[in-house]
C-alpha cells in the first residue's frame, strides 16, 4: 500500500534518471563544438606559430590560428591550397586550384583610391551600417605597448576605432563595440557571441571581428603608398552554414583590395570552427598585423581595408 502511495514519486525519479542518462549520452555522442586554441593561447612565446608549407618545403603561410587537416588558404596571388597533413606546429598543403583574377574595378588605371571612394559616394546613397567588435579584446602590438596582451583592453581597440573612422568618411555608419571578452581563452568566442547577438539586432549590413595574428613581423609587413603598414588576412570559418556566403564576401573584399591597395591582403584562411559567422551571412574576421608589428602600421592597414568595404557597398547598392 505504501508503495502505491509513493508510486508518483518513484515514477518522477525514474523519469529524471532517464533524462539525465539521455543527456549524458547525447553529450558524449555530440560534444559541444569549440574552436581550437590559438597558438598564442597555448604558448605565450611570440615566436611560436603554425607554418604551412608545400611538398617542396616552400612556406605558404604562417599564422597563430590553429591549423587542421582540410583547412584551406587562398594566398595573395589567388592560389588555393588545402591542408593535407598537420604535425605539431607544421602543416603540409597541396594546391587545389588557381583562381582567376577578378575584373578591373577602376578606370582609368591611375585613378587613386581616395578619388574612387569620393566619386562613388558623390551621389546620395542609402547609408550602410556595420558592426565592429573584438573577440580577443586584449590583443596588443609589442613594438607599441611592450606587450602582446592588455586585459583591460588592448591596442586592437584602437585599430577598430581607426577602421570605424575611415568607414564613417565613406558614409558608412559603424557601431564599434569595446566590450571586454578577456580572458584570451577557448571560451572567448562564447563570450563575444553574446556581444555579437546584441549588435546584430538592428540588422546591419555586415559584422566584423577585428584581431591581430601571432607571427613573425615579416609575415604581415607591407607598404601602402610608400608607408609601412600591416597586411590583413581574412578568416572564414568552414564549419558554419553561412560559409559559402561568407567566403564569397571575403573574395569580393580581397579582389577590391588587390586592385586598390596591392599587397594589403595576404590571403583568405578557411579554418575549422565557425568564429560566430553562423550568426550572419556577411560576417568576417580580419587579422590585422601580428603582435610583432606596430599599432600605427595596423591602423594604416585598417584604414586601407575600410576603402575596400566602402567600394564593395557602393558596387552592390
Model confidence pLDDT, tens digit, residues 97-111: 876 455 444 443 334
Higher-confidence residue: 111 or 66? 66
Higher-confidence residue: 115 or 135? 135
From 257, 263, 253, select the one nearest 226 (Cα to Cα): 263
Average pLDDT over residues 20-29: 53
pTM for this entry: 0.82
Counting Cα atoms < 13 Å in the Cβ hemisphere of 317 gives 17
Cell of 205: 549590413
Cβ of 34: how many Cβ atoms within 10 Å?
11
Q: Is 314 a residue whose pLDDT tops 80?
A: yes
The CATH T-level fold of domain 113-315 is: Aminopeptidase (3.40.630)
Cell of 311: 567600394
- Spell out the residues 6+ positions from residue 59 whose beta carbon is closer than 8 angstroms to its own: 51, 52, 53
Under 8 Å between Cβ of 117 and 306:
no
Ranges of each domain in the chain: 1-31, 39-98, 113-315
Distance of alpha carbon 115 from alpha carbon 119, whole angstroms = 6
Q: What is the DSSP letter of 301?
A: H
From 167, 178, 162, select the one nearest 296 (Cα to Cα): 162
From 103, 106, 102, select the one nearest 116 (Cα to Cα): 106
Amino acid at each position: 500500500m505504501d508503495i502505491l502511495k509513493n508510486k508518483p514519486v518513484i515514477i518522477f525519479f525514474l523519469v529524471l534518471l532517464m533524462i539525465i542518462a539521455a543527456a549524458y549520452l547525447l553529450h558524449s555522442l555530440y560534444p559541444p563544438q569549440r574552436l581550437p586554441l590559438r597558438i598564442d593561447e597555448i604558448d605565450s612565446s611570440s615566436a611560436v606559430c603554425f607554418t604551412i608549407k608545400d611538398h617542396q618545403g616552400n612556406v605558404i603561410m604562417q599564422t597563430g590560428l590553429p591549423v587542421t587537416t582540410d583547412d584551406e588558404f587562398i594566398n595573395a596571388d589567388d592560389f588555393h591550397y588545402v591542408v593535407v597533413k598537420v604535425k605539431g606546429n607544421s602543416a603540409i598543403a597541396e594546391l587545389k586550384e588557381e583562381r582567376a583574377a577578378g575584373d578591373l574595378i577602376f578606370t582609368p588605371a591611375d585613378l587613386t583610391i581616395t578619388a574612387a571612394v569620393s566619386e562613388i559616394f558623390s551621389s546620395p546613397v542609402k547609408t550602410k551600417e556595420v558592426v565592429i567588435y573584438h573577440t580577443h579584446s586584449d590583443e596588443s602590438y609589442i613594438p607599441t605597448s611592450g606587450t602582446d596582451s592588455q586585459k583591460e583592453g588592448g591596442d586592437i581597440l584602437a585599430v577598430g576605432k581607426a577602421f570605424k573612422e575611415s568607414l564613417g568618411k565613406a558614409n558608412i555608419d559603424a557601431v564599434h563595440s569595446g566590450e571586454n571578452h578577456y580572458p584570451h581563452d577557448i571560451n572567448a568566442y562564447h563570450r563575444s557571441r553574446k556581444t555579437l547577438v546584441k549588435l546584430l539586432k538592428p540588422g546591419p549590413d555586415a559584422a566584423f571581428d577585428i584581431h591581430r595574428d601571432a607571427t613573425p613581423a615579416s609575415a604581415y609587413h607591407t607598404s601602402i603608398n610608400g608607408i609601412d603598414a600591416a597586411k590583413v588576412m581574412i578568416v572564414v570559418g568552414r564549419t558554419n552554414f553561412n560559409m559559402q556566403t561568407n567566403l564569397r564576401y571575403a573574395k569580393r573584399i580581397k579582389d577590391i583590395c588587390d586592385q586598390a591597395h596591392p599587397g594589403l591582403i595576404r590571403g583568405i584562411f578557411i579554418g575549422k570552427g565557425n568564429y560566430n559567422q553562423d550568426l550572419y551571412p556577411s560576417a568576417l574576421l580580419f587579422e590585422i598585423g601580428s603582435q610583432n608589428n606596430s599599432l600605427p602600421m595596423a591602423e594604416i592597414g585598417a584604414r586601407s581595408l575600410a576603402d575596400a568595404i566602402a567600394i564593395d557597398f557602393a558596387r552592390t547598392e
